[in-house]
Amino acid sequence: MEITLEYWNELAKQTLLISSLLSGFSITVVANLLVSDKNNKLFNLILKSATLSAGCFLVTVFTMVHIVMTTTSGGYIKNVSVDDFQIARIIGVITFMIGLFSLSTMISLSGWTKSKKVGRFTTAIGILTLILIFITMIRFNA
């Protein structure tokens, strides 16, 4: 079954919205960690995962803008085919998935800055969140 260009357009718009919100959240975390006085291994790991998440979601935003612009009827490319945005689609999906992993890692590590009990809780929530997201994505594609 071939997906229509209109469907690609709507899918890209939704992914664009989600990625924009998640990149903004990740950038906010990065900014807060950068001004923090703490400088230990755990904070640096959280900073790295937040930075990776922000960067990946930003790349996803721009790849989805490319897909929206390509698949919009009356746009700048005439006689559009799926091949016209294949690279953007691959890069967008990969960076979106890496962004989700990084964001989940950031959530999982955040509680360890307070205590072992809170760290265990946030790790469980981070892993559960990632699993539920992937189950939802797999069920949607099935």
Confidence (pTM): 0.88
* Domain count across the chain: 1
Between 142 and 102, name the one with better pLDDT: 102
Query: Domain limits at 125?
Result: 5-141
**What would the pLDDT profile of 35-45 be if each residue is shown by its tens digit?**
988 889 999 99
**What would the pLDDT profile of 15-65 be if each residue is shown by its tens digit?**
999 999 999 999 999 999 889 888 899 999 999 999 999 999 999 999 999
Q: Cα–Cα distance between 70 and 92 in angstroms, integer?
A: 14
- Distances in whole angstroms, Cα of residue 23 to Cα of each of 58, 124, 140: 6, 23, 23
